[in-house]
Each structure stands twice: as C-alpha cells, then as structure tokens.
Amino acid sequence: MAVTAELLRELHRMHQQLADLRERLERGPRQIRARELNVEKFNEQLSDAQTTMQKTKMAADQKQLDLQTGENKIVDLGAKLNTSSSNKEFHALQEQIAASKMANSVLEDEILESFDKVELLKQAVAKAQHEANAGKAELEKSREKVAAEAVLMKADMTRLEGELAEAEKGLTGDFREDYNRVIRSKGADGMSLADGRICTGCGQQMTLNMHNDLLLSKPIFCKACGRMLYIGEE
C-alpha cells in the first residue's frame, strides 16, 4: 500500500509540534536561570551599596571622634596658655590653638559632607533593596509559571507521541526504514513540503523524475539537504 502525502503531512505536522513543545520546555529553565542571575546581580548591588554606606558612616563617626579629640586638645592648650610662663611659650601655644581650630574647621566641613553622602547612600540602598525584592518576586512568578506550563506541555507531548506512534503504523516497508533514518538524524527538520518541484526546506529544485516519483508516493529525498519530501494539499 502506497504511503499517502496526507500521512506524511500529518507526520511532519506532529513532529514540528513536538519539536516546538520540546524547545518551549527547554526554554523554561533558561528563563528561570536568567532571572536567577538578575537576582544575584541585584543582591550584589545591594550588598555593595550597604557596604559603601556602612564605610561612609564609620568614616563620619571617626571624624566626629577626631573632632571631639581636637576640641579637647584646644581646651587643654587654653589651660596651658593661661599658665604659660614666657612669651615664647605663650605664642607657641597660640599657634597650636590656631592650628587645632583650623583642623577642626576642616573636620566639621568633612563631617557635614559625610552626612550628605550617607543620606544619598541610604537612598541608593533603598533603591537596591527595592530592585532586589522585585527581582525575587519576578523569579518566583517565573518559577510558578514555568512549572505550570511544563505540566501542560508534557501532557501535550504525551498525547502527540501517542498520536504519532499510531500514525506511523501507516508507514510500510522500505518507506518506514527511510523515514526512521531521516527522523533519527534530523528530527522535525528531516521532512519538507515540496512546492511544485522546489524543496521548501532549502529552496533547491528537484529533477523531473524525482517529482514524478513523488507524485507516485515513492520516498523521495532532497539531494541538497536530505529531507524527505512530500507534496502539499491540492
């Protein structure tokens, strides 16, 4: 019994659907991994922002301690100034007090600048935290969606595989062997529609004899790409 073009069309359709389902099934874990990488990136950014803010706060705290030490030094120098026993000592203490006041003034400016930086860094941390939380939420949604879709796709694949096995029973003899060989080698790309004398898989033209054999339902393969050819619906 000759294998009909209708059967080959149906077989190719099912192989294409199965290939599409497999590709979609494999795409799910890749999508999840991409979101996991995003979450890792957001967490790193959050950690960096927190570390930078903490270091800036610690530096500001240290400057405040240095300022307090400087102010205490000025008090001590003032006490010594009041009890100085010579003009030389008096002028030396005045110079030290002036230098300490200048250093404290610089520290005060730096402390105010540090406070401004800390406020900006708090905003950066809040933003990074928001992005990290949003990334985690998207990851969980993606996992749930992929898992739900996988259940449906596996069910469709099981159904199609059953229908394919049933349809393949219509293949006979050498035709079945040729079909199995090309499907094992190329999968869904192992078959192609012939548009007139043109293989739609690669665009190459078949010979007239090949086209005639195809019309007689003989197994014909494109000489250029090796696909099993079948004719379309009239």
Q: What is the pLDDT of residue 1?
A: 42
Q: How far apart are CA 127 and CA 14, in angstroms?
A: 49
Q: Which domains does the chain have, with CATH numbers?
A: 23-169 (1.10.287), 171-234 (no CATH)
Mean pLDDT computed over 199-224: 93
Paired tokens of 215: 């019309």
Per-residue burial over 5-35, b = 16 or more CB atoms within 10 Å of its CB, e = otherwise = bebbbbbbebbebbeebeeebeebeeebeeb
Q: Which amino acid is at 16?
A: Q
pLDDT tens per residue, range 24-38: 999 999 999 999 999
Contact 46, 135 (CB under 8 A): no
Q: Nearest 5 degrees, angle CA 164-CA 168-CA 169?
A: 125
pLDDT tens per residue, range 76-106: 998 888 888 888 888 988 899 999 999 999 9
Range list of β-strands (E), the chain: 191-195, 198-199, 228-231
Task: Kindly compute the dihedral angle of the four CA atoms of residues 158, 163, 167, 169, in this order, to the nearest 10 degrees.
Answer: 60
pLDDT tens per residue, range 114-140: 999 999 999 999 999 999 999 999 999
Q: Which amino acid is at 58?
A: M
